[in-house]
Structure 1
Amino acid sequence: MDEEITHKLAVLIDADNAQPSIVEGLLAEVAKFGTANVKRIYGDWTSPRLSSWKDVLLQHSIQPIQQFGYTRGKNATDSAMIIDAMDLLYSDKFDGFCLVSSDSDFTKLAARLRESGLVVYGFGEQKTPEPFVAACDKFVYTEVLRDEEDDQIETKQKSTNELKQDTKLVNLLRSAVEASSDETNWAHLGPVGSYIAKQSPEFDPRNYGFHKLGELVNATKLFEMEERPVGEGQSKAIYIKDKRK
């Protein structure tokens, strides 16, 4: 049996725009995409406001990179992180990058990394500017990462009416099903998910309070769903169809 190929990833965290509370969920999410061969976090570690990061860094073997704020009003941390990212890019040792920040200053960096053929995963709060979100192959809002660690702040599951009234969501789901469907108008859930990921980097069922795409689709009540056996085994595949068809 062939050995599974694992993508080598560089995880770069902007300490000025991320919270220690996301680290557990962040690294668990990164593990879904590949192996974090490099884990670095950037900030002015002489500043008391970053003291809450100390125990987290030791526990998860994240390397702190010191960057003094030489000039007020200028973000030296961003510059250091961007320079390091380019050095890592030119080392030709990585398949992708995980950029952890809610700062739009990393938009050009994400675009440049993708131009070089590497995959870019962005992580930031929902306030993250749209250009940075769109520049990534996949963008995960860190609010859902905290949810997984603390059930007390779990994202409220949206109702069927709320989902139906979300025009952007409904159009995205219907377009994905239409693009992935066969001549009978049924679409396999897998290709539907792939289409959505290409069209909307920030899409995540967890943003709506659901753990899986199938659960979200079912909750909208806009699609027919059925499970079909795969081959001669016990596994099943989910197929969906727009009820308007």
Structure 2
Amino acid sequence: MGTMQNYVEPRVAVFVDCDNTSPDILDYALKIASQFGRIVLRRGYGNHTTLAKTWQQALVEKAFTPCLQFQYAAGKNTSDIALGLDALEAMFDGRIDRFCLVTSDSDFAYLCRKLRERGATVSIIGEAKTPAALRNASDQFFEWAHEAGEPENQHDSKASPAVSAPREKTLVKRRPKFVVDAVALLAGQTPDGQVHLSALGQYLKRTDPAFSPDVYGYSGLVDMLKTYDLLVLTKAEGGHYTVQLGANDLVGMQPR
């Protein structure tokens, strides 16, 4: 009972770089952020044109606080600076445990590094154009595709083919070799040559914040590992999985 009473739900901040992305990303961003805890800060940063013409309705509907920043000089983006300062302030005040930054702007890579250095967890929610410098500066990167937001906003019959196209791509399943390399590395450090699935998943996320089995056409990591001839997946009595290299591991480590 004491454990339940002392449990404090993680506090999450969702800061949106409105000058850099579309309002269609907002639903996806909130779904991602909600899995980490209670969203206590919702803020959208942008100039007058962006907030008034493009983002006003979305920010109002999703209960975001608009943070308007005027441009004091041409070419100066004061919104980025405001977002960065507010994030640091929230961290130092101890109000936030996890930051979800909605942007594809690599200028925020340094902010991500500083937040993580101070113990905060940072997720980036961005588009495919997001540079590797920003992806790798985060703890976890979530890629949003513009097509994902279209079905909710479009009601004509012409939208159906566009919706099914991305799903068809997931049918082509791929088996990246770096998963085998990760198992070889982690399992090689254990006495029985096996690595728990949770540890493997955490390692893959740390090395590639954008890693997700569904990107390669799988419903989950278990589904993905089952397709590897070089890996042996074992289910323990408690329902936990372990994975290890198969008998042909040395052959499998050779480039194909």
> Which residue pairs with 1:68 in the alignment?
70
Moved more, 135-144 or 106-115: 135-144
Q: Answer with 1 or 2: which has the greater Rg.
A: 2
Alignment of 1:164-179 (within 5 A): 164=175, 169-171=176-178, 173-179=179-185
> Which residue pairs with 2:125 in the alignment?
123
Task: Give the whole-Å Cα distance in 2 for the aligned partners of 1:137 and 1:55.
Answer: 31
Structure 1 187/144 Cα, relative in aligned 2: closer, same or farther at 3 Å?
farther
Alignment of 1:18-167 (within 5 A): 18-47=21-50, 51-143=53-145, 146=148, 152=164, 154-155=166-167, 156-157=169-170, 159-160=172-173, 163-164=174-175
Structure 1 229/108 Cα, relative in aligned 2: closer, same or farther at 3 Å?
same
- Structure 2 residue runs of 5 or longer lacking an equivalent are 153-162, 250-256
> Which residue pairs with 1:202 in the alignment?
210
Structure 1 23/222 Cα, relative in aligned 2: closer, same or farther at 3 Å?
farther
Moved more, 195-204 or 211-220: 211-220
> Which residue pairs with 2:8 in the alignment?
5
The letter for the 1-side match of 2:26 is: V
- Structure 1 residue runs of 5 or longer lacking an equivalent are 231-235
**8 Å CA contact 2:13, 2:42 repeated in 1:** yes
Moved more, 144-153 or 186-195: 144-153
Identity of aligned residues (%): 29
Task: Give the whole-Å Cα distance in 1 for the aligned partners of 2:99 and 2:124.
Answer: 8
**8 Å CA contact 2:25, 2:149 repeated in 1:** no
1:187 corresponds to which of 177, 195, 205: 195
Instruction: Tell me by how many angstroms 1:239 deviates.
Output: 2.6
CA displacement, residues 139-172 of structure 1 (integer Å, 9 cap, x when unaligned): 1112299379775454521634xx24xxxx322x
**8 Å CA contact 1:144, 1:206 repeated in 2:** no
CA displacement, residues 9-56 of structure 1 (integer Å, 9 cap, x when unaligned): 2211001222222222211111112221101011124348x6343332
**8 Å CA contact 1:133, 1:139 repeated in 2:** yes
Instruction: Tell me by how many angstroms 1:103 deviates.
Output: 0.4
TM-score (norm 2): 0.79
Task: Give the whole-Å Cα distance in 1 for the aligned partners of 2:20 and 2:165.
Answer: 20
CA displacement, residues 175-234 of structure 1 (integer Å, 9 cap, x when unaligned): 33224434443332111101112222221223223332222333455423233321xxxx
**8 Å CA contact 2:91, 2:97 repeated in 1:** no
Structure 1 71/13 Cα, relative in aligned 2: closer, same or farther at 3 Å?
same
The letter for the 2-side match of 1:218 is: K
Structure 1 219/67 Cα, relative in aligned 2: closer, same or farther at 3 Å?
farther
TM-score (norm 1): 0.82
Task: Give the whole-Å Cα distance in 2 for the aligned partners of 1:177 and 1:193.
Answer: 10
Task: Give the whole-Å Cα distance in 1 for the aligned partners of 2:94 and 2:129.
Answer: 32
> Which residue pairs with 2:159 in the alignment?
none
> Which residue pairs with 1:233 in the alignment?
none
